[in-house]
Structure 1
């Protein structure tokens, strides 16, 4: 009878390993299979996409989706645009935004290597406004400026957070370029200030569930069969794209007219020219927030301070919210109806 060793010599199915033991192998070794091919990331020159900083890059960054991408890079859920080229002393900040707790965020952009002039601007902004977060975005954050931001974070520890980011563009083959924010300087022991109760807490839910009952008992012209959620109450005006929102945010109760998308962009300036008359009718000073560059987010509103934990004051707050909502309907509904607006495809999007 032939041994395993003999068979290995003749048909190649057995060989000796390093220890002298026989093991089975295929008579003909197949070449290893090739894996799926992987493409290579290629850097893209920033100036090839954003030729002029204030004309191209700043408006791009100010768009909602791009601000939120920046927010996530520095540890925030979202950022909301306040304005572009906002006056601060003798300078103008590229972008001023706010986070979910109304903390002021100032953003300064450079598509080149950082310089001393922009560092001076950042310090000026932080001292001239009630700024909580300062963000410096550039192609290349120089070592001396990294050290300066680290020093500032140490000196103003807990009061203002200075972030330094480098932005890159990458693509694969002929794909569109994709931005990437790299955080290179950040405060080590900074906590974003917040006094917010979770919008999904049982207390907030109970408040907004009780408000419609208050209106029914006290008598109201409001149509109460509208959306009630954790964020507050949303009333739809007859014209698509216009809503009145009652909500609670960071120690303030708010009543706002919200204008979405294309119609909001058209309607806001038509309403703003009537600002004095509208505020006189509502008997409240109003804040006027124009639409973002993307055309979203136009709103007009008023607010009052209050803590939702103070349940004994709920009836007083209910009465104020009811009066404001009724006044907003009376002032804005006929004006909006009289407008000739070109509808778009983005008027029905929801926002909190």
Structure 2
């Protein structure tokens, strides 16, 4: 029996929008827009990216954007084009890399020529493991009469298999310890569960071999962390900008709301001013007895991390919003 035509859904069509109709000027419009909308680039790169400055001077030139991979603390640079790629911008990209020592180099353009995509692939294959080159194609679309929306697409990225081979070779050479391998396994489990249950928390997908991983807080100079450096795991809010006075001022504003934070979290919190250091932090501690080297405990550790961060994040975000409204 045929369904009536009236029962069929009415669907709009996606239509492309010329990028120059959205961002008329590369430096004044696109670069400035991307500076405050770094999450769009974060999603396509799969990292927690904080862009901190536009038009950074590098010698006699101006780098479009510079920022930080919040999970590793490494420098990220971005070069933009609102047209097809050209040799000039490839040269600029390498010049800026030489002047800023980044771990991640991103080239955004409206279209990539095959030879420039091949050049990024070559750089990914022949540079050291800690350096990554990305090509991101910029586009814009709309559905019906909706406002235009950005549509970014990766056209060049590190060769994960090659990087993995390098990593395995390094491990075979004895440069990766059993503890680093255990951290990597734990954080991969945590990240997989975060993306399944709380995808808004982070765009990062690569696990760290360190005793911590970080996630965005929502304001520059502060971030969340999962930490497993001893028998007691912890989640924390770390105020770690380069300005010690700024860190202390934000820490004090949270400290003034200690009762509210501890009530919302449901347990006591550890407020640490960290004398002698620029940074401050607020920590929530887990139970004793965990050993990261015991892989059988990783499931329980990941469960504690997610449950604790869910409560911790909820109440600290409430305080962040309250402070922002003052």
TM-score (norm 2): 0.55
Question: CA 1:177/1:47 → structure 2, altered by over 3 Å: closer, same or farther?
Answer: same
Pick the structure with more helix per residue. Answer: 2
2:38 to 67, 90, 93: 67
Q: For 2:279 and 2:119, how far apart are their aligned partners in 1?
A: 48
Q: Partner residue of 1:201?
A: 227
Question: CA 1:203/1:170 → structure 2, altered by over 3 Å: closer, same or farther?
Answer: same
1:41 aligned to 2:14? yes
Q: For 1:319 and 1:116, how far apart are their aligned partners in 2?
A: 50
> Cα deviation per residue 1:112-152 (whole Å; 9 max; x = unaligned)?
00110000011112222221010000100111111111111
Q: For 1:151 and 1:254, how far apart are their aligned partners in 2?
A: 39
Quote the offset at 1:55 in angstroms: 0.7
Q: Partner residue of 2:198?
A: none
Q: Partner residue of 1:110?
A: 81
1:52 aligned to 2:25? yes
1:348 aligned to 2:323? yes
> Cα deviation per residue 1:29-66 (whole Å; 9 max; x = unaligned)?
65654411110001111111111111111000000xx2
Matches within 5 A, 1:44-193: 44-63=17-36, 66-76=37-47, 78-100=48-70, 101-189=72-160, 190=163
Q: For 1:195 and 1:159, how far apart are their aligned partners in 2?
A: 15
Structure showing greater radius of gyration is 1
Is this contact kept in 2: 1:126–1:160, CA < 8 A? no
RMSD (Å) for aligned C-alpha atoms: 3.5
**Count of residue correspondences:** 207
Q: For 1:157 and 1:46, how far apart are their aligned partners in 2?
A: 34
Runs of 5+ unmatched residues, structure 1: 1-28, 209-228, 233-244, 265-316, 326-344
Q: Partner residue of 1:289?
A: none
Runs of 5+ unmatched residues, structure 2: 165-205, 214-224, 251-272, 281-319
2:276 to 320, 329, 352: 320
Q: For 1:258 and 1:94, how far apart are their aligned partners in 2?
A: 27
Is this contact kept in 1: 2:81–2:109, CA < 8 A? yes
Quote the offset at 1:111 in angstroms: 0.3
- List 4+ stretches of structure 1 deviating above 2 A: 29-34, 189-196, 198-208, 253-256, 317-321, 345-350
Quote the offset at 1:348 in angstroms: 2.4
Is this contact kept in 1: 2:211–2:227, CA < 8 A? no
Quote the offset at 1:99 in angstroms: 1.1
